Amino acid sequence: MSKIENGVQSPTDLDIRVWCAACDADEQVTDLVAQARAVQSMYMEFRRRSRGGMKQLMQAPVALYERTERFRIYEHNVVPGLFQTAEYATAMLTFWIGFLETQNDIAAALEARMERQAVIYQGTKTFAVLLEEAALRTWFGGAETLAGQMDRLLAVMTLPNISLGIIPMMGERQAIGSTGFWMFDDSLVALETPTPRPDRQPGEASGSGVRRT
């Protein structure tokens, strides 16, 4: 259980059945086994795509963006990709290329990321975005890059189809988000979390996109 709780290994079907029996929750076995298999499948698909470079990862959600009419976005430590400047995106993509140990196709990945932003100018789509103040203070690039990113946010806030709110760092909180998430219409919620990679030692992590309906 310690290895599963700390992300060193994934639970097997038997692990889930034994744990549910111990918790007197046998009725949840089928659903939990299905969820575990779905997560593992999505993780393997993510690893397959990431081996081909960041450009493929940037292009993956384009079809989803195109068919979504209502975007609801929460980010706790980063500016959403749809609102990033080229300089900010370059710094972020450089970090992820190193973290994921994928091929360095930064120029192509940046172009694909910038092209995705075309959806915010389509009048039929709306964006409700909520950022933690920490997202404005986390540095990707230097001071000039961050200042340019703040100007970009001020610009997109003037678009009639975009609502942008900031949660201040100070003050009492009823809840604190541990990761960002995106809601696409009323059909899909997507989040990304660090996930252990089979060829890394315990404690090391590799990024993984996990989607839940």
* Residue 81 to residue 91: CA distance in whole angstroms: 12
String of b and e for 119-139 (b: at least 16 CB within 10 Å)? bbeeeebbbebbbbeebbeee
Token pair 């960002």 is at which residue? 180
For 65, other C-beta atoms within 10 Å of its C-beta total 18
Question: How many residues does this entry show for the chain?
Answer: 213
204's tokens = 């090391």
* Residue 131 to residue 77: CA distance in whole angstroms: 8
For 34, other C-beta atoms within 10 Å of its C-beta total 10
Domain carrying residue 170: 2-212
Which pTM does this prediction carry?
0.70
> Which residues, in sequence order, are CB contacts of 120 under 8 Å at separation 6+?
82, 83, 127, 156, 159, 161, 162
Number of domains in the chain: 1
Q: 90-148, pLDDT tens digit by residue?
A: 999 998 888 777 888 899 999 999 999 999 999 899 999 999 999 999 888 899 999 99
- Percent of the chain whose pLDDT exceeds 70: 84
Per-residue pLDDT tens listing for the chain (213 residues): 888 777 677 888 999 999 899 999 999 999 999 888 877 766 666 666 666 677 878 888 899 999 999 999 999 999 999 999 999 999 999 988 887 778 888 999 999 999 999 999 998 999 999 999 999 998 888 999 999 999 999 999 999 999 999 999 887 878 777 789 999 999 899 887 655 444 444 333 344 444 444
